[in-house]
Structure 1
Amino acid sequence: MEPVVYLGAVLVVAALAQWLAWALKIPSILLLLILGFLGGTLVSPDEVLGRDVLFAAVTLAVGVILFEGSLTLRLADVRDLGKPVLRLCSVTVVIAWALITAAGWLMGLDPQLALLIGAILVVTGPTVINPILRQLRPTRRISSLLRWEGIVVDPIGAILAVLVYQAVLVGNREDALGTALLTLAISVGVALLFTLVLAVVVEFVMVRHLVPDYLHGTLFLAVAAGGLVGSNMIQSESGLLTVTILGIVLGNRRTLHLEHVKEFYEHLQVLLVGVLFVILAGRVTPQQVLDNLWMALGFVAMLILIVRPVSIWLGLMGTETTRKERLLMSGMAPRGIVAAAVTSIFALELEHAAETVTGERREALVQLAEEAEAMVPLVFVTIVVTVAVYGLGVGRLAERLGLATTNPQGVVFAGSQEWVRQVAGALGELGVPTILVSQDAGELRRARMDGVRTERTNILSDYAINDLDLAGIGSFIAATDDDGTNTSAAREFTHTLGRANVYQVRREDSLQPEDASVTSGIPESASAVTAQGRTAARSTATKQTERTSSSHKLAARTPFRPALTYAQLEERVANGMTVRRTQLTETFTLVHYQERNPDAVLMFTHDGTKASVLTEESDVAESDVTLIALAPPRETGRGRARETGGGRARDTGGGRARDEAS
């Protein structure tokens, strides 16, 4: 097969697999690996691309992935978690390495290979952690701990593997220890030197605007690739440590504004992860997996049931982490692309080493290289099983512990005016978590008295954007009195919650062309304006609207039916309309409700499991849902009884109302 055909097919398969995984709400890596295994039965990546080119591309891609992840690590996220993070990246790693090595030896691996596989599998990795966290959305503390562990431990595992590999090549125990220590010192020194030089250069050119904005992504890509390759040329596999430290340093420099760079890298990382998993899985044949399946399953069982819980509980003993947090972290250690790539690289390196030496050492390395062929399928089975177990099972564990939810349906409101407080109260009665973000102390105090969670801060502050705990939150509605603030806040929360779940109340300048002609002062009397004149007037109004209204690419989705501006909503509340909660049934459907309340503003529906924000394009169920709407006060007495056909009703008002028509 031609390389261009193969690479094109890999891109298509990777994209479709990740899209399908999103739709099915399962870890994308499972589909990528399965499709990669199947693809490998048809064509071998080694034959199409060649081993040297393949592993060079894999090395660069893994470096870019780690650089992207480290750019997003904020030191502020762990200001209260410094000790646990340090333990996770040191004591826990050592314990896990020892236990994984023991497990590999018990399963029949050569002691030297067991040490190597133990070093490789101490990693978890952002490629598997981040998608799970994105779907699960746990508390800020748990999210920070898992992300820091996943990103920082990846290069540590790679360097540990280098130390073991160097010791294996030396053979002599006394020389092996000295070689390992020298390798470690060189790796750390090279990483720090490259980080210092590159960080200074990048900050210098960025602060002085010597590079245009459209080249920032390219600049950082070149810096990451240069740091990776340069470090590896001096000391093998030190490049991963270099790009990780460099990313953390650059990502935490306040003089640099890297949001657009991080967005570029986020898309690139998704692409690279999909392609790498498909290609690397294609190198493993089904027969290799079957030959080592039972050993691999026994090995993975020990990793899940013994290694991870013991290393977490011993490693975090005496830290400020809670028992529930340690329990959840004990059930969260999927392996990712770094483990797959490093295993494949070292298996190949052992083959090359066996070809370059002579004598008895050659025979020993040849035997070791033959046994190392079992490492690759062993690690891929480990990846598949751990991603399946942790990715599919951690949600239930997190829900039981109260640290996350697999169905995040909560709502963050930017604003705390009366109707917002009423909506929050109505949602709270249905078990939907809400957060009101505002700087108005009086309104927030009233909300807290009703049991609503509040945050007194500017919705555009660093705290609101970066540190607000969004556990259980699925949607965001910007409802302040300033359209610019609403737009900016919606754009920031889009990165976390997704464009489909972010809304802002209708902008004042979002007039339709037909409405604009009326407000622009253009007469439209039938006796004075011909059909051609009316067309010209509408065209002029359209052009005027395009010039005066904000670009719709800047605005988020508009909530509610009908979509109203802040002023229009406040006017309705001033006229006596309140938020009411109504149970729609087969005898009292949405049609009946709207006939009785033609001026009502439909806001949310709740089907018993999930709250949905209504828009003018939403399909609203006619029955069997709870409707939350801003509606006029309820009529009472005989008149109302005739309206409902004798149905019973009760209205407590103020967001705690409930219609019950029968």
Structure 2
Amino acid sequence: MENYFLQLSTLVFAIFIGVTLFILSGYVRLPAIVLLLAGGIILGPEFLGLIHPAALKEGLRVIISLAVAVILFEGGLTLNPEGLKKAPKMIWRLLTLGVLVTWLGTATLLYFLLDFTVEMSLLAGSLIIVTGPTVIAPLLKRIRIKARLYHVLHWEGVLIDPIGVFIAILCFEWLAVEGSVLTHVWHLSLRLFIGLVLGYIGGKAITGLLRKEVIPEEQSNIFVFGAALFLFSISDFIVHESGILTVVIAGLVIGWAAPPRLKHIKQFKSELTELSIALVFMLLAANLKLESFLDIGWMGLLVLAGVLFLIRPLSVLLCSVGTSLSLNEKLFLSWIAPRGVVAGSMASLFGLRLAALGHPESVFLETFTFSIIISTILIQGGTAGMLARALKVEQPDKTNWLIVGAHEFSRRTADFISRNMGGECVLVDTNADAVNDARARGYSAYRGNALSTDVLPPDLFVTIGHVLALTDNRDLNQLICENWSEVVEKKNLYRWSSQSPEVEKKIAGPGIPVWPHMPKPSQVSYQLLNGDLALRQPVPGRENRGRVLLSLTSGGITFGESGEKDSVEAMLVMERLKTSLAGLLDERHVRRLEAKSYEEALSGLMDLARALYPDLPFDKISPRLFEREQEFPTTLAHGVAAPHIHCQDIDRAFCFVGIVPDGLTLRTYEGDSVRLLFLLLSPESDPELHLRLLAEIAKVASSAEKVEHMLGAADSRAFVERIKTNRA
């Protein structure tokens, strides 16, 4: 029972503290592995004694193996085939010639400087071949480097893991397992064959099941996770240690096939990978013996220096001969080769097995590998950003905008952004006429579906740093932002939505909702072309009568009015030139009411207004409106009523329509039951506008035929169209 609690506490502390340190690393801007190594050592037997990896016995090996499988499967899943095209020659050379230079070069240093046997030198050298996605991926997120360098390091980090593991197993078997050289080579060949074949077949099978929707959507994440572990274990059962290549290939096949919900699967696997890294590094670090690092000696430090300053630069230099890489790019690649969880886990597992066989160098094997891990992460990882800036290999800031929609409103918005922010605005639309018209007027426009990130040419795609979705469909806008969130920071994704801020908070979808007060973008475009609306850029600091859509300050762009009014450099303001009934209404403003009394109908319309525009001063509007309409109901003719009110706290007019098919108890002067209500709210500062809008409503009520025509509209959209076309 005591051993049970020791195992339980070891796993619980390793998981919880590991995940906590992973989160903390984002705040302190340090590589997560640095904190995990420190945390594992402090919580391990050397200090606090809260984590005891030895208590897990054979379970430690199982946990590490499964965690590595999850990590490498996620690595294969995230490999972009377009990345291979960026530098195919360099990537393949690093995976072949580069592997040999690292392996044999390190083994040579160990053989001559530490007087190890050939077998032990080759085994130790094989363990540091791998760079690994566990350290490369977070590093590449932290420093923004040129796309070509990014893909070289990412591809190398994922694919070099199974290669390095296979070579390490070959060396271990040569050292610790009896058998001829041909036997060991045969086992290696078999691992390659099983890994490639089973990984490909498994990846295709998983993709097929997802595409045919055999797997329910809500279970797709856990199915893929379970299937990856199943492939790993089956492959390992057939040929020992072949599972690593199997899961990489399976992930690669699934990622390239892009089945439904791939983005959600990647997100789920990414979280599992972070959990696996946290758990494994905490356990491995807790298993280290600090005194063994003191025994490494000066010759050991010389080997470390040789790996960092000689072996990696030599590997990159030889692999880059004849490529288009610049000198600065070669220098950067020469410096970046941090090792991670795969190297550490293999060293720990081999160290334990060699210790059981009585090999004296078993402790050094683990110590040497973790010395490489720690030094490369601290030295290379810590200076990568500074070196990228010094060598000028950083990715330029992504200042360009993708605006979805090529209508007039999108174009005017693009004009403001381009003129004041300097970046190029690219319009995308499925409407060929809108795209052609935009091109004819000098805009950069492309016809295509913005749901796909492949809608733009590659050279333009890499420059997009902001997305603004301006289609009339708020759900489509949200989906566009979701798809582009993989390549654009979430804080730079914007979308028009008709939902109120309160509703949007509950939805919590990707993309920042903007301009909820505004009608559909196509309607705004129509009114801009019709002269009902204007977009102006007034002088900052001066009073304007319109609504501020965009504000630009030294801190960036704000959708709406900036809180730093004194520092506003430019504004885009929407002003209404001619306010009409048609201009005020859209389908959201029309509702069928189940009401019997006039008061019930008014309450229903006020609830609609409050849901759409919660910022309006309803505490002032409601009492005055109800008091006025109770005393003198504003009935017109032919079953039409027009409750209305001025308010000094609003800056524009609003109109809401209630349709009561069965009629109210309230009647007009001819005796008709009120079936159509127009609730009008207008600013007190513009009485002329108020009278003009009431006149338009009265025109609708001027004949029974017009009223019946309006009431005969099939839905809210049709009602608004009849108002706009003046067919009443």
* Pair 1:477 & 2:419 matched: no
Give the partner amino acid of 2:81. Answer: L
CA contact (8 A) 2:36 2:281 kept: yes
Aligned to 1:32: 36
- The Cα of 1:168 is off from its aligned counterpart by 1.4
Aligned to 2:184: 180
Matches within 5 A, 1:258-273: 258-273=262-277
Give the partner amino acid of 1:100. Answer: T
* Pair 1:327 & 2:282 matched: no
Matches within 5 A, 1:249-260: 249-253=253-257, 258-260=262-264
Q: Aligned pair in 2 of structure 1 residues 47, 85: CA closer, same or farther (>3 Å)?
A: closer
Partners of 1:455 and 1:391 in 2: how far apart? 40
Give the partner amino acid of 1:223. Answer: A
CA contact (8 A) 1:409 1:473 kept: yes
Partners of 2:550 and 2:499 in 1: how far apart? 20
Give the partner amino acid of 1:248. Answer: L
Deviations 1:499-522 (A, max 9, x none): 4442223x1x32479xxxxxxxxx
Aligned to 1:345: 349
Alignment partner of 1:382 out of 369, 372, 378: 372
Aligned to 1:535: none
SS in structure 2 of the partner of residue 510 of structure 1? coil
Deviations 1:270-294 (A, max 9, x none): 1111221122111113333333375
- The Cα of 1:121 is off from its aligned counterpart by 1.0
Aligned to 1:629: 571
Aligned to 1:502: 493
* Pair 1:614 & 2:608 matched: no
SS in structure 1 of the partner of residue 418 of structure 2? helix
Deviations 1:270-328 (A, max 9, x none): 11112211221111133333333755554333223222221112112223444443333
CA contact (8 A) 1:113 1:372 kept: no
Q: Which moved more, 1:89-98 or 1:334-343?
A: 89-98
Deviations 1:14-70 (A, max 9, x none): 222222221233322222222122112222744564231011110011011101110
Q: Aligned pair in 2 of structure 1 residues 628, 572: CA closer, same or farther (>3 Å)?
A: farther
Partners of 1:462 and 1:599 in 2: how far apart? 33
CA contact (8 A) 2:199 2:245 kept: no
SS in structure 1 of the partner of residue 223 of structure 2? helix
CA contact (8 A) 1:579 1:629 kept: yes
- The Cα of 1:260 is off from its aligned counterpart by 2.7
Deviations 1:381-435 (A, max 9, x none): 322221223333222333344442598776554456122233133222xxxx555
* Pair 1:419 & 2:413 matched: yes
Partners of 2:493 and 2:323 in 1: how far apart? 37
- The Cα of 1:73 is off from its aligned counterpart by 1.8
- The Cα of 1:558 is off from its aligned counterpart by 2.6
Partners of 1:445 and 1:377 in 2: how far apart? 67
CA contact (8 A) 1:437 1:458 kept: no
Partners of 2:41 and 2:464 in 1: how far apart? 36
Partners of 1:469 and 1:386 in 2: how far apart? 35
Partners of 1:263 and 1:466 in 2: how far apart? 26
Give the partner amino acid of 1:422. Answer: F
Alignment partner of 1:558 out of 500, 513, 518: 513
Matches within 5 A, 1:250-649: 250-253=254-257, 258-292=262-296, 297-352=301-356, 354=357, 366=358, 369-405=359-395, 412-414=402-404, 417-428=411-422, 436-439=426-429, 440=435, 443=438, 458-464=449-455, 475-480=466-471, 482-505=473-496, 507=497, 509-511=498-500, 552-554=507-509, 556-559=511-514, 566=521, 575-579=533-537, 593=541, 599-607=547-555, 611=556, 613-614=557-558, 620-621=563-564, 627-631=569-573
SS in structure 2 of the partner of residue 495 of structure 1? coil
Give the partner amino acid of 1:259. Answer: K
* Pair 1:242 & 2:236 matched: no
- The Cα of 1:156 is off from its aligned counterpart by 0.3
Q: Aligned pair in 2 of structure 1 residues 215, 405: CA closer, same or farther (>3 Å)?
A: same
Partners of 1:136 and 1:600 in 2: how far apart? 36
Partners of 2:542 and 2:48 in 1: how far apart? 59
Partners of 1:551 and 1:144 in 2: how far apart? 38
Q: Which moved more, 1:73-82 or 1:437-446?
A: 437-446
Q: Aligned pair in 2 of structure 1 residues 165, 5: CA closer, same or farther (>3 Å)?
A: closer
SS in structure 2 of the partner of residue 417 of structure 1? helix
Aligned to 2:13: 9
Aligned to 2:75: 69
Aligned to 1:20: 24
Aligned to 2:235: 231
Q: Which has the larger radius of gyration?
A: 2
CA contact (8 A) 1:603 1:629 kept: yes
Partners of 1:581 and 1:142 in 2: how far apart? 45
SS in structure 2 of the partner of residue 504 of structure 1? strand
Identity, in percent, stands at 24
Partners of 1:344 and 1:394 in 2: how far apart? 28
Aligned to 1:586: none
Q: Which moved more, 1:2-11 or 1:149-158?
A: 2-11
Give the partner amino acid of 1:156. Answer: I
Give the partner amino acid of 1:108. Answer: L
Q: Aligned pair in 2 of structure 1 residues 205, 234: CA closer, same or farther (>3 Å)?
A: same
SS in structure 2 of the partner of residue 43 of structure 1? coil
* Pair 1:153 & 2:97 matched: no
- The Cα of 1:489 is off from its aligned counterpart by 1.4
Question: Can you give the 5+ residue segments of structure 2 that lack an aligned partner in the other structure?
Answer: 430-434, 576-728
- The Cα of 1:198 is off from its aligned counterpart by 2.5
Partners of 1:374 and 1:581 in 2: how far apart? 71
Deviations 1:577-601 (A, max 9, x none): 445797xxxxxxxxxx375787433
Q: Aligned pair in 2 of structure 1 residues 555, 434: CA closer, same or farther (>3 Å)?
A: same
- The Cα of 1:572 is off from its aligned counterpart by 7.7
* Pair 1:100 & 2:106 matched: yes
Partners of 1:568 and 1:49 in 2: how far apart? 68
- The Cα of 1:160 is off from its aligned counterpart by 0.5
Give the partner amino acid of 1:129. Answer: I
Deviations 1:472-529 (A, max 9, x none): 7654433455534422211112234454442223x1x32479xxxxxxxxxxxxxxxx
Instruction: Say how many residue pairs are matched.
Output: 556
Question: Can you give the 5+ residue segments of structure 1 that lack an aligned partner in the other structure?
Answer: 355-365, 514-545, 583-592, 634-662
Partners of 2:473 and 2:340 in 1: how far apart? 44
TM-score, normalised via structure 2 length: 0.68
- The Cα of 1:180 is off from its aligned counterpart by 3.4
Aligned to 1:590: none
Give the partner amino acid of 1:279. Answer: L
Q: Aligned pair in 2 of structure 1 residues 345, 437: CA closer, same or farther (>3 Å)?
A: farther
CA contact (8 A) 1:435 1:455 kept: no
Partners of 2:461 and 2:25 in 1: how far apart? 23
- The Cα of 1:223 is off from its aligned counterpart by 2.4
Deviations 1:234-262 (A, max 9, x none): 33322111111222123223666633322
Q: Aligned pair in 2 of structure 1 residues 213, 600: CA closer, same or farther (>3 Å)?
A: closer
Alignment partner of 1:51 out of 51, 57, 61: 57
CA contact (8 A) 2:10 2:50 kept: no
SS in structure 1 of the partner of residue 361 of structure 2? helix
